[in-house]
Amino acid sequence: MNSVSTATLPLSSGGVIPQVGLGVWQSGRGATTRTAVLTALRAGYRHIDTARIYGNEADVGAAVQESEVPREEIFVATKLWNDDQGFDEAQRAFDASLRRLGLDYVDLYLIHWPVAGKRLDSWRALERIKASGRARAIGVSNFLVPHLEELLAAANEPPAVDQIEMHPFLQQRETRAFCAKTAIVVEAYSPLTHGRKIDDPVIAAVAARAGRSPAQVLLRWGVQKGVVVLPKSTNEGRIIENADVFGFTLDGAAMSALDALDEGLATGWDPRTQA
Ligand SMILES: NC(=O)c1ccc[n+]([C@@H]2O[C@H](COP(=O)([O-])OP(=O)(O)OC[C@H]3O[C@@H](n4cnc5c(N)ncnc54)[C@H](OP(=O)(O)O)[C@@H]3O)[C@@H](O)[C@H]2O)c1
């Protein structure tokens, strides 16, 4: 049986990505993030998702180094912020991220947002960074089908992943279908709806039938859809709870009930507005 430590998805560029990752947006700086990452690694997580704009790359890096898990067993992802987009700027921003992390390489470097007029230059920079070996894989975030089509037409190397908001209330069917066709792994951010729908009555009913928590149901739905899920928590009990999503299966009736919840709910920023 799979576990949070062993469940992975293959990347088109080679290697694998662990299917559950700890998100650290709004986890703060300093001890809170360091403790959350150490707790997650102890609980079996092998994937940490940070970004330059989260302000805690240094804390993530410190926890990775402090943990007893070998570096090569941990998948570390960070992201290029919007103000740093452009060919030269992106390379400088990557160097700065790597310095803050205190690592020799990251496992995944993502363009955080499809900034118009800059994103293709940024992508050329990411291709160069990957060629240098300092990012094992490169990808994008908040790219919808038109952004991906434009990128694939221009790129030498396709993105290995697209990180988008995804949960039963925002199912991203079109983007997922496109990514399935083009071998791009989808990563679901805000898989717990940023906390907005954790008390939804349909989720509660499915959770009661499965004997699981609402958060576990939301994450399991994503796992069964074949995507990576990136739950954020700084609470030890919830970090452990969110990892425990491989010991049960949602049956057809449960998946249908969840599939019926799509309402296009973007809890954060919405790339449908980005030309
Ligand atoms: N690429 C992007 O543009 C982008 C955008 C947004 C997010 N992300 C990534 O996705 C990650 C997760 O997204 P998110 O932070 O927006 O939201 P989320 O993971 O959907 O939800 C986090 C919220 O749920 C709470 N929570 C966690 N586990 C819970 C549980 N078992 N039961 C009840 N509540 C629980 C957390 O509080 P506690 O901490 O108190 O447990 C927090 O308030 C981010 O950290 C980041 O890595 C990426």
Q: Is the pTM here over 0.85, yes or no?
A: yes
Separation of alpha carbons 227 and 176, rounded Å: 9
Mean per-residue pLDDT, 175-197: 98
Which residue is closest in CA terms to ligand 1's atom 24?
195
Separation of alpha carbons 51 and 261, rounded Å: 30
Yes or no: say if 184 and 160 are a contact pair by the CB < 8 Å rule. Answer: yes
79: CA distance to ligand 1 center in Å? 17
Most ligand 1 atoms within 8 A of CB, residue of 75, 190, 240 to mutate? 190
Question: Could you tell me how far CA 103 lies from the centroid of its own chain?
Answer: 19
- Asked, for residue 201, whether it belongs to a domain, the answer is no
- Asked, for residue 245, whether it belongs to a domain, the answer is no
Question: pLDDT tier at 225 (50, 70, 90 boundaries)?
Answer: very high
**Whether residue 266 has pLDDT greater than 90:** yes
23: CA distance to ligand 1 center in Å? 6
b/e per residue 78-95 (b: at least 16 CB within 10 A) = bbbbbebbbeebbbebbe
Q: Read off the pLDDT of residues 23-50 as tens digits, 9 standing for 90 and up.
A: 999 999 999 999 999 999 999 999 999 9
Q: Give the mean pLDDT of the chain.
A: 98
C-beta 194 within 6 A of ligand 1: yes
**Whether residue 1 has pLDDT greater than 90:** no
C-beta 25 within 6 A of ligand 1: yes
Which active-site residues does the annotation give?
54
Q: Specify the pLDDT at position 265.
A: 98
Q: Which two tokens stand for residue 269?
A: 């920023």
Q: Specify the pLDDT at position 126.
A: 98
Q: Specify the pLDDT at position 119.
A: 98
190: CA distance to ligand 1 center in Å? 5
233: CA distance to ligand 1 center in Å? 6
φ, ψ (nearest 5 deg) of residue 66: -75, -25
**Whether residue 5 has pLDDT greater than 90:** yes
Q: Which two tokens stand for residue 271?
A: 């790339």
- Asked, for residue 28, whether it belongs to a domain, the answer is yes
Find, among 167, 51, 64, 157, the residue nearest to 111 by Cα: 51
Which residue is closest in CA terms to ligand 1's atom 29?
238
C-beta 159 within 6 A of ligand 1: no
Q: Specify the pLDDT at position 271.
A: 96
Q: What is the CATH number of the domain that holds 21?
A: 3.20.20.100
Amino acid (one-letter) located at 204: A
- Asked, for residue 51, whether it belongs to a domain, the answer is yes
**Whether residue 139 has pLDDT greater than 90:** yes
Mean per-residue pLDDT, 139-158: 98
C-beta 163 within 6 A of ligand 1: yes
Separation of alpha carbons 122 and 256, rounded Å: 40
- Number of domains the chain contains: 1
Separation of alpha carbons 65 and 38, rounded Å: 10
Most ligand 1 atoms within 8 A of CB, residue of 189, 193, 198, 239 to mutate? 189
Residue 216 CA, closest ligand 1 atom number: 31
- Asked, for residue 217, whether it belongs to a domain, the answer is no
Which residue is closest in CA terms to ligand 1's atom 45?
23
**Whether residue 3 has pLDDT greater than 90:** yes
- Asked, for residue 246, whether it belongs to a domain, the answer is no
Separation of alpha carbons 85 and 103, rounded Å: 22
Which residue is closest in CA terms to ligand 1's atom 44?
23
Q: Read off the pLDDT of residues 41-80 as tens digits, 9 standing for 90 and up.
A: 999 999 999 999 999 999 999 999 999 999 999 999 999 9
Q: Specify the pLDDT at position 173.
A: 98
- Asked, for residue 206, whether it belongs to a domain, the answer is no
Q: Which domain holds residue 29?
A: 8-196+227-235
SS3 per-residue string spanning 138-162: EEEECCCHHHHHHHHHHCCCCCCEE
Return the bridge partners of 17, or none.
9
Q: Specify the pLDDT at position 17.
A: 98
- Asked, for residue 37, whether it belongs to a domain, the answer is yes
Return the bridge partners of 77, or none.
49, 108
Q: Specify the pLDDT at position 224.
A: 98
φ, ψ (nearest 5 deg) of residue 49: -115, 110
Residue 192 CA, closest ligand 1 atom number: 20
